[in-house]
Structure formats: structure tokens, C-alpha cells
Amino acid sequence: MPNHDPRVDAYIERQAAFAQTILVYVRELVHEACPDVEETIKWGMPTFVDSGGILCGMAGFKQHASFGFWKHALVVGDDQPRVGMGSYGKLTTLDDLPPRPQLIAHMHKAIALNAAGHSEPIARRTPRAKPPATMPPDLASALGGNAKAKAVFDGFPPGQRREYIDWITDAKRDETRQKRVLQAVEWLAEGKRRNWKYERC
């Protein structure tokens, strides 16, 4: 007899009819593939766990339902990007799910991964390089009149030059901008970075 959590029963009963059909089907499939699975509620949604941790979860929404594996990329594959919380996109009918044998195979893979202690690899974003900052004409003119300040500025890496440029261009009033230009030239002539005051904090 499957170990059903009454909270999951209540969750399914609160969903729209189309979502109930999908959630009941998925729930039965999970128990079929993993008879020892335990049900719980995590993050407000039905979640299935075994001795190795979270296996998968499901959810119902107004317009769709979802079913997804905790170790999505390892179970389904990197070529199947996760859509929302689910591994198979937004589900509106049972036809949106893969065939039952494929679902069972995915479940068995998730169980095996948990048993082996595998962790979901963390997707790392490649940072986008910022375009070079555009030199404000007023700063360029001021640096042109102070060779030492210009040499220091030109010797800074792009990020440190950007700090001065952004500080000046972010000024809301012309008066503030002019003061910042003069202050920048003074600090640069002394070899200082824009945030030099905080470097020893």
C-alpha cells in the first residue's frame, strides 16, 4: 500500500480538474517506480523523497501543472532545459508527459543517482564583459590639462576607469558634475582610485 501523505491528498483536491488528473497519474507513477518513496510538502508543493534525499516534485497552477526531478540535468539531460519548475514543461494534459516507460526509466535513474550520492551540478553563468566606458568630454578635457592625472587614469585597468566615469556621469546636476570632475582630477593626480577612502576599511 503506497505511503500517501494526507497533505498531498488535500493539495491535489484543491487543484483544477485537469491538474488533478495529471497529479494523480504522476503520484501513482512515482510510487510504482519507488515503492519506498515518502511524500511530504516542501515549498508548499508535494515532494517525493527517498533515503538519498529529494527525488522529484509536482505542482498545480491555474493554467498548467508541473512535474520535475530534483537532479533534472542528470536525469533528463542537459539538452532538455528546465521550463519553470518542471522537467517536461507546462503540463495541461497527460499527453504532455513522455510515455510511461520513459517516465519510469527517468524515475529509476533519479533513484540510482540518489543512491550513489550524486549532487545536481550547479549551473554557472559566464559573466558578460562590460563594454568599455565612454569617456565624458568634460573629464577628458580636465585630464588633458593635468598630465599626471591623465597618466594615472590611463594606467588604471578598465574597471577602475569606469568607477570614475560612472561617478561623474551619474551626477544629477551640472554643478555636482563639475565638482566631481575637479575632485577626480585631484585624486588622480595623487594616484588615488575612485574608492580609495574605503580600501583600508
Three-class DSSP category at 10:
helix
- Boundary residue ending a domain (52, 82, 116): 116
- Beta-sheet pairing, 65-69 with 53-60: antiparallel
pLDDT tens across 19-78, in order? 999 999 999 999 999 998 999 999 899 999 998 889 999 999 999 999 999 988 888 876
Do residues 152 and 65 share a domain? no
- Boundary residue ending a domain (116, 145, 162): 116
The DSSP code for 91 is: B
Do residues 154 and 81 share a domain? no
Query: Total structural domains in the chain?
Result: 2
Residue 16 lies in a domain: yes
Structural domain span for residue 75: 6-116
Give, for 176, the enclosing helix (H) or strand (E). helix 174-189
pLDDT tens across 3-32, in order? 789 999 999 999 999 999 999 999 999 999
Model pTM greater than 0.75? no
- Boundary residue ending a domain (116, 151, 183): 116
